[in-house]
Amino acid sequence: MDIRIALAGNPNCGKTTLFNDLTGSAQYVGNWPGVTVERKEGRLKGRRDVVIEDLPGIYSLSPYTLEEVVARGYLVKERPDAILNIVDGTNIERNLYLTTQLMELGIPVVVAVNMMDLVQKNGDAISLDKLGQMLGCEVVTMSALKGQGSVEAALRAVKAAQEKKEAALPNVFTGSVERAIAHIEESIAEVVDKRSLRWHAVKLFERDRKEREALDLSPALKERLEAHIAKCEEELDDDAESIITNQRYAYIRRVVERAVRKRAAGHALTASDRIDRVVTNRLLALPIFAAVMAFVYWVSISTVGDWVTGWTNDVLFGEMICGNLRAFMEGAGCAPWLTGLVADGIVGGVGSVIGFVPQMLILFLMLSILEDVGYMARVAFIMDRIFRKFGLSGKSFIPMLISSGCGVPGVMASRTIENDRDRKMTVMTTCFIPCGAKMPIIGLFAGALFGGSGLVATSAYFIGVAAVILSGILLKKTKLFAGDPAPFVMELPAYHVPAAANVLRSTWERGWSFIKRAGTVILASAVILWFLQSFGVVDGALQMVEDNNTSLLAAIGNVVAPLFAPLGFGSWKAAVATFTGLIAKENVVGTFGVLYGFAEVAEDGAEIWSLLAQDFTQLTAYSFMIFNLLCAPCFAAMGAIKREMNSAKWTFTAIGYMCGFAYAASLIVYQLGMLLHGGGFTVGTAAAVLALAALVYLVVRKNRHGRAAGAATSVRAASLE
């Protein structure tokens, strides 16, 4: 029979790193709350009979957040054979709060103190013997990041599970609280699992809503329990929940006093503190963030990324693959249509997308390094300050951080937001952040029309952020979304050298998924597009056409193209690319690759995207880019939106809002840009002015449905140091 070991601990204490180390899995490791929303399962390496369960990071077993509900549900209902409680040694006081609750479950517990290397570096010392004595369970040390002590800790938990050695209940509560809990235990002994009697009693004392619902006690019993609780509250002049919290912390203080030796107070700031003084400074934080993102996009689009992508496009696909393939097929005697399909359709479509993989990998590599080093966690904290002013919680920024990889997990990460209105608003806005699949669009226009400008690429990211902030302001002023933002608590991890394995794994997974999509969805789309753009009705018969402006695809595209004319890209090719982008955003580039003859141009050795540049001015290209970055996401992301909204009405509202916002933004940029370039005042300009006026009104109007923005006060961030 399998032995099940649950990894439980506070967010960002190293559970997923440990899980990956123990099971050989490749779960995504992130240093912000909400990375692990569900529990994950894997088998211990070398011990197939041991199942390791990675639980979401939690601060307590109270059912306030989704993570807590998931972890608590598993621990209480499914009862693993043992709990390996990961405790961050640098924050032992706060981490032990959860430990005191885990002990009450009546499940064998082994405490693994993680980050001991940092504890020692800080000059602190933890006595494992004293800690174990006071807690009543075995205590071991480890460093999950370095893989030191991980397996030993897991094996100790396995041993505890085999011995069924339950943790001795620590003396957490005193006086009247202990008496009241003992009375409750007596009263409910017959209705709950005896092994976790203490836990149920404490939860009932706290008036835990979920526990009360789950136990369904008789009214008479409820009255009796309430009398015990009320008497204790009266005696201690506090509410039950606060009494429990205070006594837990009082107990933890006693434990820490005996088992932990802290370096003398008043010690100098750590390196992380010193860096944070600058990067999270009220005035400097945003400019630094803008500079960092500008650097990231500049490197990935303009410099290293541009060279590598240039080589991939011109040499690898242009000369080596496409040129040789065409020559080979023509030499072998293949029909011209087949040569055209393979070289212009498949290689043109897929190659144009794959060409951007190097830029994407470099971008993902740099974002992964920023994540792993701990900077992105700071960005969430910085953005919380800004978002809160506009009615959004910093918690909404976590899905947006994830969305920079792919919108689908980004949308799904919004489920950690408890407030339903904030959650829906986050779902509606999170896809504004350019995902990896939108990178080729940015790279294409930055390269083809702006000379590989890093500024254009950076602006694409900040257009997404601005769209989120503007949407937050204007939606919060509507009845549907009004209300105070939810509190956001997160830890700022100490800066550390990024773990190469984490960074490379994260980069590779994103890149490999992109390549797989290019080889499947994009390839199939390219074939269909090539047929539609190569055949047309000539003299009443369907036949191949020389000029794709007379093709079937042109006929279809011309029907919808006028819709985009006010945005500056009313050509059928741009319209078709916008629509095929709904299949997958990188398909926009694949479509251009097929329609503009990527392969032929490359073979001539000319600038690959020069033909594209003939159909777009810088202004129309920028307008096209804005629209495609902000409009409805791909079908996969739309599916995720549908799942998270769980309502057809809300799904259409979300997608309609994105498209409407994208159209308005694009219209304003193009029409006012034309006006500034001497295009004269036209009907389109009037429409853009009206759209801008409406947007400004919606943003600055008085909030009649909620408290004044910026009134919330519950921003809390705790440094690990």
Write down the least CB distance from residue 18 to another protein, Å.
15
Check residue 327 for interaction with another protein (CB under 8 A): no
Distance, CA of 61 to CA of 36 (rounded, Å): 16
Write down the least CB distance from residue 379 to another protein, Å.
18
Residues forming beta bridges with residue 6, ordered by sequence position: 53, 83
According to CB under 8 A, which one of 96, 145, 341, 667 is a site residue for another protein?
Answer: 341
Spatial neighbors of 406 by CB under 8 A, at least 6 apart, are 435, 436, 437, 510, 513, 637
Residues forming beta bridges with residue 127, ordered by sequence position: none
According to CB under 8 A, which one of 118, 347, 521, 658 is a site residue for another protein?
Answer: 521
Helix, strand, coil percentages for the chain (3-state, nearest 5): 65, 10, 25
Write down the least CB distance from residue 529 to another protein, Å.
13
CB closer to another protein, 222 vs 643: 643
Distance, CA of 259 to CA of 139 (rounded, Å): 12
User: Segment near another protein (CB under 8 A), from 161-169, 490-498, 502-510, 681-689?
Assistant: 502-510
Write the DSSP string, 124-191: -EE-HHHHHHHHTSEEEE-BTTTTBSHHHHHHHHHHHHHHT-PPPPP----HHHHHHHHHHHHHHTTT
CB closer to another protein, 95 vs 587: 587
> How many chain residues interact with another protein (CB under 8 A)?
51
C-alpha distances out from residue 371 to 18, 30, 225, 439, 610, Å: 18, 7, 48, 19, 37
Restricting to residues 535-554, name those near another protein by CB under 8 A: none
User: Segment near another protein (CB under 8 A), from 183-191, 334-342, 562-570, 691-699?
Assistant: 334-342
CB closer to another protein, 57 vs 149: 57
3-class DSSP state of 633: coil
According to CB under 8 A, which one of 217, 584, 599, 601 is a site residue for another protein?
Answer: 584
CB closer to another protein, 25 vs 122: 25
Check residue 642 for interaction with another protein (CB under 8 A): no
User: Segment near another protein (CB under 8 A), from 111-119, 165-173, 458-466, 506-514?
Assistant: 506-514
HSE, side-chain direction, 13 A CA sphere, residue 368: 24
Check residue 505 for interaction with another protein (CB under 8 A): yes
Enclosing H/E stretch for 536: strand 535-538
Say if CB 92 and CB 260 are below 8 A apart.
yes
Check residue 527 for interaction with another protein (CB under 8 A): yes
Cα-flanking dihedrals φ and ψ of residue 7, to 5°? -95, 115
3-class DSSP state of 5: strand
According to CB under 8 A, which one of 333, 540, 678, 680 is a site residue for another protein?
Answer: 333
According to CB under 8 A, which one of 154, 640, 665, 672 is a site residue for another protein?
Answer: 640
Write down the least CB distance from residue 370 to another protein, Å.
17
Restricting to residues 27-56, name those near another protein by CB under 8 A: 27-28, 30, 35-38
Check residue 13 for interaction with another protein (CB under 8 A): no
Restricting to residues 411-470, name those near another protein by CB under 8 A: 412-413, 415, 435-437
CB closer to another protein, 328 vs 697: 328
Say if CB 177 and CB 243 are below 8 A apart.
yes
CB closer to another protein, 173 vs 514: 514
Distance, CA of 473 to CA of 466 (rounded, Å): 11
Write down the least CB distance from residue 407 to another protein, Å.
8
Check residue 346 for interaction with another protein (CB under 8 A): yes
Angular region, 597: left φ>0, alpha ψ -120 to 50, beta rest: left
According to CB under 8 A, which one of 636, 665, 669, 688 is a site residue for another protein?
Answer: 636
Write down the least CB distance from residue 664 to another protein, Å.
27
Q: What does DSSP say about strands 125-126 and 260-261: parallel, antiparallel, or unpaired?
A: antiparallel
Distance, CA of 44 to CA of 53 (rounded, Å): 10
Distance, CA of 663 to CA of 692 (rounded, Å): 12
CB closer to another protein, 535 vs 569: 535
Q: What does DSSP say about strands 125-126 and 82-88: parallel, antiparallel, or unpaired?
A: unpaired
User: Segment near another protein (CB under 8 A), from 188-196, 332-340, 535-543, 564-572?
Assistant: 332-340
According to CB under 8 A, which one of 128, 275, 316, 334 is a site residue for another protein?
Answer: 334
Write down the least CB distance from residue 94 to another protein, Å.
23
CB closer to another protein, 342 vs 494: 342
How many helices (H) and strands (E) are present in the chain, helices listed first? 35, 12
Residues that bind another protein (CB under 8 A): 26-28, 30, 35-38, 329, 332-335, 338, 341-342, 346, 405-409, 412-413, 415, 435-437, 505-506, 509-510, 512-514, 517, 519-521, 523-524, 527, 584, 586, 634-637, 639-640, 643
